[in-house]
Structures are given as structure tokens and as C-alpha cells.
Amino acid sequence: MLASLLRGNQESRTCEVCGNRYDKAFEVRMGGKTHIFDSFECAIQALAPTCAHCGCRIIGHGVEAGGVFYCCAHCATEHGVQGVEDRGVPERVQSRS
């Protein structure tokens, strides 16, 4: 009953990945284009870059080397990229070894 009351007032929009219509769909602006998703899972599916080494979706900071994205410094190194370190790791953690 509450749902049917709300249905008239709230704009439901269609996720561009799975086609689900959802009143809490959200927009993501990327590279000047606006995308609409019903979930972060769909947003990741559509927008997150893929690791050039292991193929997983990069949802953290990732590593970029020569225009190619990797999910982590390990993958970049395995792929032959040299001198990369994970970004965003505090120095006090890095120096602990």
C-alpha cells in the first residue's frame, strides 16, 4: 500500500546494465556521460576497468602503467611493469618488513 502510494511520486529509472526499473537508481557521471544504475554491482560491471593481468574488475585504486590498468602492483609486476607500488598504502605500513 505504501509502495503503491509512492509509485506515482517517485521517478523510477531503468538500469542500463540489467534493465531493472528501480526508484532508487543512481547516476554516475564518467567522462562527460551520465549512466544510470540500480546497484553498484551493475555500475562496476559497466564502468570499472579490467585488470590487464588477471582480468578482475578494478574497484579499488588500482595501478595504471602506460595507459593499462592493473588491479594491484603484483599484477602489474607479473605483467612486466617495473617500479610500481600500490598507491594509498601508508608509508609506515610499507616500511614494516
**From candidates 38, 62, 63, 76, binder to Zn ion by CB under 5 A:** 38
CA–CA distance, 2 with 7 (Å, rounded to integer) = 9
Tell me the Ramachandran region of residue 62: left when phi exceeds 0, alpha when psi lies from -120 to 50, beta otherwise.
left
Cell 611493469 found at: 81
CA–CA distance, 71 with 77 (Å, rounded to integer) = 11
Please list every residue from 54 through 83 that binds Zn ion, using CB under 5 A: 54, 71, 75
Whose Cβ is closer to Zn ion: residue 8's or residue 11's? 11
**From candidates 14, 18, 47, 69, binder to Zn ion by CB under 5 A:** 18
Judged by CB under 5 A, does residue 53 bind Zn ion? Answer: yes
Give residues in contact with Zn ion (CB under 5 A): 15, 17-18, 20, 38, 42, 51, 53-54, 71, 75
